[in-house]
A and B are shown apart, each in its own frame.
Chain A
Amino acid sequence: MTLAIILVVAAVVALGVILRLAITRSLQAKGNASLAATIRPIDIEAFRNLIDPAEDDYLRWRLPPAQFRVVRRERLHAMAAYVHVVASNAAALVRVGQLAVASGDPRVAGAAQRVVNDALLLRRNSTVVLLRIYLALAWPNSGFATGRLVDGYEQLSGAAMLLGRLQNPAVPVRLSAML
C-alpha cells in the first residue's frame, strides 16, 4: 500500500507540473511583447575577472586557507548569480529566435536559426556550469573553467545583433561604426 501511495503522490505531482507548464505555454504565447524586458545586461568584464583562475591562484597564495575558502565561496555565489542571468538571457533569445525563424526573409530565418542554436548551447552549458559551481561550493579548493561560457555568450551576442539588424535595418546601430 505504501508503494501505491508513493506512486499516486508522484502521479499527482507530475500532473500538476504538466498542467502548470501547459498553462505557462499558453500565457507565453499571448505575452511575446514582454520578451525584451526579460533580457538583462551583464558586466562581462567583471564576470571574466570573477572566473579568472589566476585571480583564484593569487587569492589562494595571499590568504590563509580558512579565509580563502570563505572568499572563494562568496566569489562562487557571485558567479552563480551571473550564470543565472546568462541562462535567463539565453532563454529569452531562444524565444526571440524561434519567433523569427518563421520569417519569410531567408536571411532573417537563417540568422534566427543561428541565434536559437547558440542560445540553446549556451543554456545547456549554463546548466552544466551551475551544477559545477554548486559542487565547488562544497569543495571550494577545487578549480574549474567557465571560460567557454563567456565565449559562448559573446558568440550569442554577435548572432543576436545580426538578427536584430536584419529585422530592424532602420534602427540606428551604434556598433556598426566600431565594427
Chain B
Amino acid sequence: MLQAHSFLWNYLWLAPSGLQVGLAVLLWRRGIYRSFPVFLSYLIFEATEEFALFAMDVLPRVSPEAFWKAYCVGRLIEGLVKFAVIGELFSHLLRRWPALAKLGNRLLRGTGAVLVLLAILAAAYAPIDDPRFSLVSRAHILQQTLYVVQCGLILFLFLFASHFRLAWDNQTFGIALGFGIVWCEHMATWAVMASGALLDKRELLDFLNMATYHVCVLIWFYYFLVPQRSASASAVPAQEHNLEVWNYELERLLQR
C-alpha cells in the first residue's frame, strides 16, 4: 500500500490538487479572492503544476530527465508565488496598524535576507551522491533551500504577531497555519532527502509530504468555510476594572 503509484499514492498526489481547485472556486464565488488574490493564484498554479507533473510521471514517453527539469522549473516558480503569499499574509496582518508597518516590513526583509544566506550555506554543504542522478539531487537541494526560507519566514510571521498581540482574521490565520505546518514538515523531509539518507525509504517520505499537504488543504477549507467566531469580531467594552486601573494611574501622573 505504501508504494509508489499505489492507489493511496495516486490519491494523495491528486486529491489535494482537486481540493485546491474546489477552494479556488469557493474563493471566487464568495468574492474572497479580492482579499487574497495572490493566494488564489497560488491555488490555481499549484493545482495545475501537480496535475501536469502527475501526467508527466505517468506518461511513458516523458523521460525522467524531462520530468525532473519540469519539476525544478515548476518548484522555482511555485517558490516565488509562495513568497508573494507570505507578503500578502503579512500585509493582511499589518494593514490596520500603520504604526508597525514600517518596522514589520524591515524585519521581514531582514529575516528573509538572513534565511536566504543560511539556505544557500546549507545547499553548498549538501552532498550530491551519484553523478548519474545529479539532477534529482539538485531538485532535492532546491526544495530544501526553498523550504528553509519559507519555514523561517512563516515562523517569523507567527512570532511577530504573537509578540505584538496582533489579531489575525480567521482566513489569514488559516492560510498561515496550513503553510506553517506543511512547510516545517517539508523542510525536515527535504533536508533528509537532500542529505542522501533513507535512500530505500524515499516513498515513505513522499507519503508523509503528500499526506501533510492534504491536511494543509483541509485546514484551509475549514478556515474558509467556518465563519469567524463573533466574540473576536465584536467589540468587548473596556470593563470597569480597566477604567479603575487607568484612573488610578492617571491620577498619580497628574499629581506628581
A residues within 8 Å of B by Cβ?
A: 1, 3-4, 7-8, 10-12, 14-15, 17-19, 21-22, 24-25, 29-30, 32-33, 35-37, 39-45, 48, 91-92, 94-96, 98-104, 108, 112-113, 116-118, 120-121, 123-124, 127, 154, 157-158, 160-161, 163-165, 167-168, 171, 173-175, 178-179
Contact = CB atoms under 8 A, between A and B. Distances in A.
A94 B184 contact: no
Contact of B245 (A14, A41, A91, A104): A41
B175 interface: no
A37 B162 contact: no
A18 B241 contact: no
Interface string B155-188: 1001101111111100001000100110011011
B29 to A, nearest CB: 25
A164 B194 contact: no
Given A3-B195, A21-B158, A44-B252, 17 more contacts: A4-B192, A10-B187, A11-B188, A17-B158, A21-B159, A22-B158, A29-B229, A39-B245, A101-B235, A104-B235, A112-B235, A120-B97, A120-B164, A160-B242, A173-B247, A174-B251, A178-B251
Interface stretch (B44-52, B58-66, B98-106): B98-106
B256 A102 contact: no
A129 to B, nearest CB: 15
Residue from A1, A30, A98 having most chain B Cβ neighbours under 10 A: A98
B226 interface: no
A118 B99 CA distance: 8
A171 B148 CA distance: 53
24 contacts: A3-B191, A3-B195, A7-B144, A7-B191, A14-B151, A18-B158, A22-B158, A92-B165, A98-B166, A99-B167, A99-B236, A100-B238, A101-B96, A102-B234, A117-B97, A120-B99, A123-B163, A124-B103, A124-B164, A157-B246, A171-B240, A175-B254, A178-B251, A178-B254
Contacts of A173: 243, 247
A160 B246 contact: yes
A163 B237 CA distance: 9
Interface in B71-91: none
Contacts of B1: none
Contact of A24 (B162, B242, B250, B253): B162
A166 to B, nearest CB: 9
Contacts of A42: 249
Given A18-B158, A18-B177, A158 B250 contact: yes
Nearest to A39: B245
Given A3-B126, A4-B195, A25-B173, A36 B250 contact: no
Interface residues of B, number: 63
Contacts of B188: 7-8, 11-12
Interface in B180-206: 180-181, 184-185, 187-188, 191-192, 194-195, 197
B185 A15 contact: yes
Contacts of A163: 238
Contacts of A43: 252
B122 interface: yes
A103 B235 CA distance: 5
B184 A168 contact: no
A10 B151 CA distance: 10
A104 to B, nearest CB: 8
Contacts of B249: 41-42, 44, 157
A123 B233 contact: no
